[in-house]
Amino acid sequence: MKLEFIEDIKNDIANWRNSIIANSYGVDWKKFLPEDISIKNVRDNEYLKNYLKRKFYQSGKIPEFKDWLEQNVNFSQTQTDLETLMGKKFPPENIKVFITTFQRAPYNVKQNFFYLILIWCESKRKKSITGIYHELMHFLFHIYYWDICRKAGLSDIQIHILKESSTVLLNPILKKRGLPIDSGYTKHQRIRAKLKKIWDKEKNFELFLKKVLKFKIVS
Protein backbone atom coordinates (compact mmCIF):
# COMPACT_ATOMS: atom_id res chain seq x y z
CA MET A 1 0.00 0.00 0.00
CA LYS A 2 1.30 3.42 -0.93
CA LEU A 3 -0.25 6.88 -0.76
CA GLU A 4 -0.26 9.17 -3.78
CA PHE A 5 -0.73 12.83 -2.80
CA ILE A 6 -2.53 14.76 -5.54
CA GLU A 7 -3.17 18.44 -6.26
CA ASP A 8 -6.28 18.59 -8.46
CA ILE A 9 -8.55 21.62 -8.53
CA LYS A 10 -11.36 19.67 -10.26
CA ASN A 11 -11.59 17.23 -7.34
CA ASP A 12 -11.32 20.12 -4.90
CA ILE A 13 -14.24 21.88 -6.62
CA ALA A 14 -16.28 18.68 -6.41
CA ASN A 15 -15.63 18.49 -2.66
CA TRP A 16 -16.68 22.11 -2.11
CA ARG A 17 -19.90 21.61 -4.07
CA ASN A 18 -20.76 18.33 -2.35
CA SER A 19 -19.97 19.77 1.07
CA ILE A 20 -22.57 22.54 0.95
CA ILE A 21 -25.31 19.89 0.79
CA ALA A 22 -23.68 17.44 3.23
CA ASN A 23 -24.69 16.80 6.82
CA SER A 24 -22.88 14.10 8.77
CA TYR A 25 -22.85 13.12 12.46
CA GLY A 26 -24.52 16.37 13.46
CA VAL A 27 -22.24 18.60 11.38
CA ASP A 28 -23.81 20.92 8.79
CA TRP A 29 -20.84 21.42 6.50
CA LYS A 30 -22.11 24.52 4.70
CA LYS A 31 -21.47 26.38 7.96
CA PHE A 32 -17.75 25.95 7.23
CA LEU A 33 -17.95 28.18 4.15
CA PRO A 34 -15.58 31.17 4.41
CA GLU A 35 -17.29 34.54 4.85
CA ASP A 36 -16.10 35.78 1.45
CA ILE A 37 -18.04 33.22 -0.63
CA SER A 38 -21.73 32.34 -0.72
CA ILE A 39 -23.57 29.08 -1.39
CA LYS A 40 -24.71 30.61 -4.69
CA ASN A 41 -21.08 31.28 -5.63
CA VAL A 42 -20.08 27.69 -4.82
CA ARG A 43 -22.80 26.40 -7.14
CA ASP A 44 -21.31 28.49 -9.96
CA ASN A 45 -18.49 26.27 -11.25
CA GLU A 46 -16.54 29.05 -13.02
CA TYR A 47 -16.83 31.45 -10.09
CA LEU A 48 -15.68 28.79 -7.63
CA LYS A 49 -12.74 27.78 -9.84
CA ASN A 50 -11.51 31.37 -10.07
CA TYR A 51 -12.04 31.87 -6.33
CA LEU A 52 -9.98 28.79 -5.45
CA LYS A 53 -7.24 29.74 -7.88
CA ARG A 54 -7.02 33.25 -6.46
CA LYS A 55 -7.25 32.28 -2.80
CA PHE A 56 -5.32 29.00 -2.69
CA TYR A 57 -3.80 27.65 -5.89
CA GLN A 58 -1.79 30.68 -7.01
CA SER A 59 -0.09 30.99 -3.62
CA GLY A 60 2.07 27.89 -4.02
CA LYS A 61 0.87 26.58 -0.65
CA ILE A 62 -0.62 23.38 -2.03
CA PRO A 63 2.56 22.03 -3.69
CA GLU A 64 4.46 23.11 -0.57
CA PHE A 65 2.03 21.10 1.59
CA LYS A 66 2.27 18.16 -0.83
CA ASP A 67 6.08 18.21 -0.55
CA TRP A 68 5.84 18.33 3.25
CA LEU A 69 3.56 15.28 3.26
CA GLU A 70 5.87 13.32 0.97
CA GLN A 71 8.81 14.08 3.25
CA ASN A 72 7.10 13.58 6.61
CA VAL A 73 4.55 10.78 6.23
CA ASN A 74 6.17 7.43 7.01
CA PHE A 75 4.16 5.07 4.79
CA SER A 76 5.54 1.82 6.15
CA GLN A 77 5.17 2.86 9.80
CA THR A 78 1.60 4.04 9.27
CA GLN A 79 0.72 0.82 7.46
CA THR A 80 2.31 -1.37 10.16
CA ASP A 81 0.60 0.56 12.97
CA LEU A 82 -2.85 0.18 11.41
CA GLU A 83 -2.43 -3.44 10.36
CA THR A 84 -1.31 -4.29 13.90
CA LEU A 85 -4.27 -2.43 15.40
CA MET A 86 -6.89 -3.92 13.09
CA GLY A 87 -5.34 -7.37 12.66
CA LYS A 88 -5.71 -7.15 8.86
CA LYS A 89 -3.55 -6.28 5.86
CA PHE A 90 -4.08 -3.48 3.37
CA PRO A 91 -4.68 -4.52 -0.25
CA PRO A 92 -1.63 -3.84 -2.47
CA GLU A 93 -3.28 -1.05 -4.51
CA ASN A 94 -2.12 2.53 -4.10
CA ILE A 95 -4.53 4.98 -2.45
CA LYS A 96 -5.00 8.45 -3.90
CA VAL A 97 -5.05 11.37 -1.47
CA PHE A 98 -6.66 14.50 -2.93
CA ILE A 99 -5.65 17.70 -1.17
CA THR A 100 -8.71 19.85 -0.50
CA THR A 101 -9.06 23.46 0.59
CA PHE A 102 -12.45 22.85 2.21
CA GLN A 103 -12.79 21.72 5.84
CA ARG A 104 -14.44 18.40 4.96
CA ALA A 105 -12.50 15.32 3.91
CA PRO A 106 -14.68 12.47 2.58
CA TYR A 107 -13.38 9.14 1.30
CA ASN A 108 -14.35 6.35 -1.10
CA VAL A 109 -13.01 2.86 -0.40
CA LYS A 110 -14.26 1.34 -3.67
CA GLN A 111 -12.54 4.04 -5.72
CA ASN A 112 -9.46 3.99 -3.48
CA PHE A 113 -9.23 7.65 -2.51
CA PHE A 114 -9.72 10.06 0.33
CA TYR A 115 -9.43 13.81 0.76
CA LEU A 116 -6.93 15.52 3.04
CA ILE A 117 -7.44 19.09 4.24
CA LEU A 118 -4.77 21.64 3.37
CA ILE A 119 -3.02 22.94 6.49
CA TRP A 120 -1.29 26.27 5.86
CA CYS A 121 0.61 26.57 9.13
CA GLU A 122 3.64 24.29 9.16
CA SER A 123 3.63 24.00 12.97
CA LYS A 124 0.15 22.42 12.81
CA ARG A 125 0.73 20.06 9.90
CA LYS A 126 1.13 16.96 12.05
CA LYS A 127 -2.68 17.06 12.31
CA SER A 128 -2.74 15.94 8.69
CA ILE A 129 -0.84 12.76 9.59
CA THR A 130 -3.43 12.07 12.29
CA GLY A 131 -6.03 12.56 9.55
CA ILE A 132 -4.28 9.98 7.37
CA TYR A 133 -4.35 7.40 10.20
CA HIS A 134 -8.05 8.19 10.70
CA GLU A 135 -9.01 7.72 7.04
CA LEU A 136 -6.91 4.61 6.52
CA MET A 137 -8.46 2.98 9.59
CA HIS A 138 -11.81 3.50 7.86
CA PHE A 139 -10.50 1.63 4.83
CA LEU A 140 -9.61 -1.47 6.88
CA PHE A 141 -12.93 -1.28 8.74
CA HIS A 142 -14.89 -1.18 5.48
CA ILE A 143 -12.92 -3.95 3.81
CA TYR A 144 -12.89 -6.45 6.68
CA TYR A 145 -15.47 -5.58 9.32
CA TRP A 146 -18.43 -3.84 7.67
CA ASP A 147 -20.18 -7.04 6.64
CA ILE A 148 -19.63 -8.56 10.11
CA CYS A 149 -21.47 -5.60 11.63
CA ARG A 150 -24.25 -5.83 9.04
CA LYS A 151 -24.73 -9.57 9.72
CA ALA A 152 -24.95 -8.74 13.44
CA GLY A 153 -28.01 -6.61 12.66
CA LEU A 154 -26.56 -3.09 12.56
CA SER A 155 -27.92 -0.65 9.99
CA ASP A 156 -25.50 1.21 7.72
CA ILE A 157 -26.03 4.35 9.81
CA GLN A 158 -25.13 2.46 13.00
CA ILE A 159 -22.05 0.95 11.35
CA HIS A 160 -20.90 4.40 10.26
CA ILE A 161 -21.23 5.61 13.86
CA LEU A 162 -19.24 2.62 15.12
CA LYS A 163 -16.60 3.08 12.41
CA GLU A 164 -16.14 6.76 13.30
CA SER A 165 -16.20 6.17 17.05
CA SER A 166 -13.64 3.37 16.82
CA THR A 167 -10.94 5.84 15.78
CA VAL A 168 -10.54 6.53 19.51
CA LEU A 169 -8.39 3.36 19.47
CA LEU A 170 -5.79 5.25 17.44
CA ASN A 171 -4.85 7.56 20.28
CA PRO A 172 -2.25 5.40 22.07
CA ILE A 173 -0.50 4.92 18.70
CA LEU A 174 -0.71 8.61 17.85
CA LYS A 175 0.72 9.61 21.23
CA LYS A 176 3.57 7.14 20.73
CA ARG A 177 4.33 8.71 17.34
CA GLY A 178 4.20 12.26 18.74
CA LEU A 179 1.06 13.13 16.76
CA PRO A 180 -2.11 15.02 17.77
CA ILE A 181 -4.83 12.74 19.13
CA ASP A 182 -7.97 11.81 17.22
CA SER A 183 -10.83 13.71 18.90
CA GLY A 184 -13.77 12.38 16.89
CA TYR A 185 -17.17 13.99 16.46
CA THR A 186 -18.82 15.71 19.44
CA LYS A 187 -21.89 13.52 18.99
CA HIS A 188 -19.85 10.32 19.50
CA GLN A 189 -17.99 11.08 22.71
CA ARG A 190 -20.04 8.77 24.98
CA ILE A 191 -19.71 5.85 22.58
CA ARG A 192 -15.97 6.50 22.19
CA ALA A 193 -15.54 6.34 25.97
CA LYS A 194 -17.35 2.99 26.10
CA LEU A 195 -15.27 1.60 23.25
CA LYS A 196 -12.05 2.66 24.95
CA LYS A 197 -13.04 0.76 28.11
CA ILE A 198 -13.69 -2.42 26.13
CA TRP A 199 -10.43 -2.03 24.18
CA ASP A 200 -8.43 -1.61 27.39
CA LYS A 201 -9.57 -5.14 28.35
CA GLU A 202 -9.46 -6.74 24.88
CA LYS A 203 -6.73 -5.48 22.55
CA ASN A 204 -7.56 -7.74 19.64
CA PHE A 205 -9.79 -5.93 17.17
CA GLU A 206 -11.82 -8.94 16.06
CA LEU A 207 -12.57 -10.01 19.66
CA PHE A 208 -13.12 -6.37 20.64
CA LEU A 209 -15.72 -6.01 17.88
CA LYS A 210 -17.52 -9.18 18.99
CA LYS A 211 -17.89 -7.69 22.48
CA VAL A 212 -19.05 -4.37 21.09
CA LEU A 213 -21.72 -6.10 19.00
CA LYS A 214 -22.72 -8.37 21.88
CA PHE A 215 -23.15 -5.46 24.30
CA LYS A 216 -24.99 -3.42 21.64
CA ILE A 217 -22.84 -0.34 22.21
CA VAL A 218 -24.39 1.18 19.09
CA SER A 219 -28.13 0.55 18.94
pLDDT > 90 fraction of the chain, expressed in percent and rounded: 96
Reported confidence tier of residue 211, pLDDT bands at 50, 70, 90 = very high
Res 219 pLDDT > 80:
no
Domain housing 157: 3-214
When divided into structural domains, the chain yields a total of 1
Q: What is the DSSP string of 39-100?
A: HHHHHSHHHHHHHHHHHTGGGTHHHHHHHHHHHH--HHHHHHHHHHHHT-PPPSS-EEEEEE
Residue 163 domain-assigned? yes
* Residue 219 included in any domain: no
Residue 65 located in a structural domain: yes
Reported as a single tens digit per residue, the pLDDT across 100-113 is 999 999 999 999 99
Q: Is position 18 within any domain?
A: yes
Other beta carbons within 10 angstroms of residue 80's beta carbon come to 11
Residues 116/97, Cβ–Cβ less than 8 Å: yes
